[in-house]
Amino acid sequence: MKLLVTIDVEEEGLFSGKYPREESSASNVFELDALDSVFLELNVRPTLMVSYQVANKDKSLKKIVSLKDKWKAEVGAHLHHWNTPPIVFDEIPQPTPSELMSVDLLEAKASSLFESLSNGKSKPTSFRMGRFNLGPKMFQVLERMGVKVDSSISPLRKSYGGADHLMAPPDPYFPNPLDPREKGKSSVLEAPVTILPIFRGVGKCLDLLSRTGCFPEKATEWLAMNVASIAIQPAWVNLNVVKTGVRLHRARGGECLTIFFHSSELVPGMNPLNPTKEAVQDFIKNLKTFIRWLQTRYEAKSYTLSELYPVYEGQRVISE
């Protein structure tokens, strides 16, 4: 089994329900060393998905580089389109859905992020959109910018400011650029975060229910998140649920697990998932226990996002 551990390394304040466009602190980056016991002991090489508010600060960017070297990690790009320049003010509630922005504006924002991360060196080749807000416009930008692997699809999820991914597959695939939720002929490999439907076709059922207009959108979102899916995400659910999800994924022929969490989850109270120091310690312990279980039971092998590309490249359908 292939294992990808991805961390959204980002600024503070994103779990307050607000999406400020001004400069934000990124002090949480300096707490990531707490993961040494996981990555170094278990030989796991994570992908650090870094936002502009982290990358444009010298101290935090130097910290990212040091973590990259220590963990043999990859540094990818994490676009928070609401506070990455150029900033365009509008009356739309934040975060503005990316499909309401122009392709030129999205490309300009992505360029700002990539340039801040490259620092005169090679640009990132892996990417994740803030709030998983990936649609056809942003996917077009990724193809132009030479991204090899994207991880912005969250199956069985639909919410304001985030694209509709109810019917997306749980395992890596090459998407249709006009609809990244489905397989196609893109040059970019999609590595969705691993969220499984409780039964095949449930995403399509929810999508049809949503399209009728007779069922509240919030209710559809709630059903998808709390009833119709199993998230193989140790930051969200307990270990028994996560392990059950892995067994189901393997039984259905699943070959890859993409788990993610936020850098803010390493700081007590900065993220509602971990309000105390004890909760942070429990999260790290559970993450380590889960990965060791995967390695023992399924011989899980660690990959960074870009390392996954050549593994799946042979499955790509090239347009004639």
Quote the distance between the C-alpha of residue 72 and its chain's center: 19
Query: H-type helices in 98-234, by residue range?
Result: 103-118, 136-144, 202-212, 217-226
Closest CA to 203 of 187, 188, 182: 182
CATH number at residue 97: 3.20.20.510
Identify the pLDDT of residue 6: 98
d(CA 61, CA 137): 28
Give the rounded percent of residues in the chain with a pLDDT score beyond 90.
80
The rounded mean pLDDT for the chain is 93
Q: Mean pLDDT highest for which of 120-124, 162-166, 229-233?
A: 229-233
Q: Mean pLDDT highest for which of 154-163, 212-221, 263-272?
A: 263-272
In a domain, 34, yes or no: yes
Identify the pLDDT of residue 313: 94
Under DSSP, is residue 181 helix (H, G, I), strand (E, B) or coil?
Answer: strand
Identify the pLDDT of residue 121: 67
Q: Mean pLDDT highest for which of 93-102, 116-125, 219-228, 242-251?
A: 242-251
CB atoms within 10 A of CB 37: 13
Using one digit for the tens of pLDDT, what is the confidence trace for 102-122?
999 999 999 999 999 987 567
CB atoms within 10 A of CB 208: 12
Given a cut of 60, is residue 247 above it in pLDDT?
Answer: yes
Q: For residue 18, what pLDDT band results from cuts at 50, 70 and 90?
A: confident
In a domain, 320, yes or no: no
Q: For residue 213, what pLDDT band results from cuts at 50, 70 and 90?
A: confident
Closest CA to 314 of 173, 168, 177: 173
Identify the pLDDT of residue 91: 80
d(CA 276, CA 268): 5
Identify the pLDDT of residue 74: 97
Given a cut of 50, is residue 320 above it in pLDDT?
Answer: no
d(CA 55, CA 231): 29
Residue 86 one-letter amino acid: P
* Beta strands 149-150; 189-190: pairing state: parallel
Identify the pLDDT of residue 120: 52
Given a cut of 80, is residue 241 above it in pLDDT?
Answer: yes
Backbone angles phi, psi at 176, to 5 degrees: -80, 115
Closest CA to 231 of 169, 293, 156, 173: 156
In a domain, 193, yes or no: yes
Answer left, alpha or beta for residue 271, where phi above 0 means left and psi between -120 and 50 means alpha: beta
In a domain, 222, yes or no: yes
Given a cut of 80, is residue 214 above it in pLDDT?
Answer: no
In a domain, 172, yes or no: yes
Q: What are the distances in angstroms from CA 71 to CA 68, 221, 281, 283, 308?
A: 5, 36, 20, 19, 17
Specify the DSSP class assigned to residue 199: S
- Which structural domain, as residue segments, surrounds residue 34? 2-315
- Specify the number of domains making up the chain: 1
- Does the predicted model carry a pTM greater than 0.85? yes
Answer left, alpha or beta for residue 119, where phi above 0 means left and psi between -120 and 50 means alpha: left
| Averaged pLDDT for residues 235-239 | 95
